[in-house]
Amino acid sequence: MNKGIVAILFIFLLQSQGDQKVQKAIDLARKVSDNVVDSVKATLFKELGKGGYLNAISACSNLAQDIIKAHQSKYGIYVRRVSEKYRNKLDKPDDYELVILRKLDELNKTGDLPQEYYEVVNEKDGRYLRYFKPLIVQPMCLNCHGTDEFLNKSIKDFLKEKYPEDKAVGYKAGDFRGAVSVKIKLSD
Ligand code: HEC
């Protein structure tokens, strides 16, 4: 084989290995973000069944971050729930996440929101997949994230006490609420 062809084949091989790595990272990001959504939802519905919205908000408040942490340690990757209008300060987006969240919000407004969004980005310490699973406000979410008339007094009191700087109210069904954000290192 002539050297030129060997070089081209080598580049193809490298490229396809790189693509495989990206694809694997996307698959993992999908799996982990779906798991986070399912686990939080399961907890929410279980606690609702046990004792209504006040019981559920108190349980979610205690358990949401534990669920996230359990996923971080199980998979050994960066995974969080993020929102521009966050309730828990731990869910405050980083600068990159904020740009993407705003973009997804705009896409939702025009009815063009994708099921998932991802990019490969270069950061100071390497190349990363950054993956987002958008979260949309459903009618039932309004009991804890809606406008004033949707919030019971007991929920309002709970929020005032536990999250005095809460930003996560005033939503309407169909609004973009935030995303599960995943970040996976691809190479140094
Ligand atoms: C029973 C009350 C309750 C309901 C119903 C509820 N949430 Fe929440 N939500 C909370 C609480 C409490 C937090 C803060 C949890 C924490 O401290 O980590 C929260 C946090 C979040 C966050 C993380 C970002 C942030 O603001 O800190 C997202 C995203 C979110 N909720 C989306 C939803 C969606 C979508 C629905 C409907 C499917 C929903 N929630 C229904 C109580 C609720």
CA dist 38 and 1 (Å) reads 53
DSSP string, 65-115: HHHHHHHHHHHTSEEEEE-SS-SSGGG---HHHHHHHHHHHHHHHTT---S
Task: Please list every protein residue whose CB sits less than 6 Å from any atom of ligand 1.
Answer: 44, 53, 56-57, 60-61, 64-65, 81, 83, 86-88, 91, 135, 137-138, 140-141, 143-145, 168, 177-178
DSSP annotation of 178 reads: E
pLDDT digits (tens, 9 = 90+) for 107-157: 999 999 999 999 999 999 999 999 999 999 999 999 999 999 999 999 999
pLDDT digits (tens, 9 = 90+) for 73-99: 999 999 999 999 999 999 999 999 999
pLDDT confidence of residue 2:
77
CA 112 to ligand 1 centroid distance, Å = 24
Domain count, the chain: 1
CA dist 34 and 184 (Å) reads 16
| Mean pLDDT, the chain, integer | 95
CA 23 to ligand 1 centroid distance, Å = 30
pLDDT confidence of residue 11:
73
CA 128 to ligand 1 centroid distance, Å = 27
Residue-number span of the structural domain to which 180 is assigned: 3-187
Q: Residue 102, Cα to own-chain centre: how many angstroms?
A: 13
Ligand 1 atom 35: residue of nearest CA: 137
pLDDT confidence of residue 1:
63
CA dist 119 and 20 (Å) reads 15
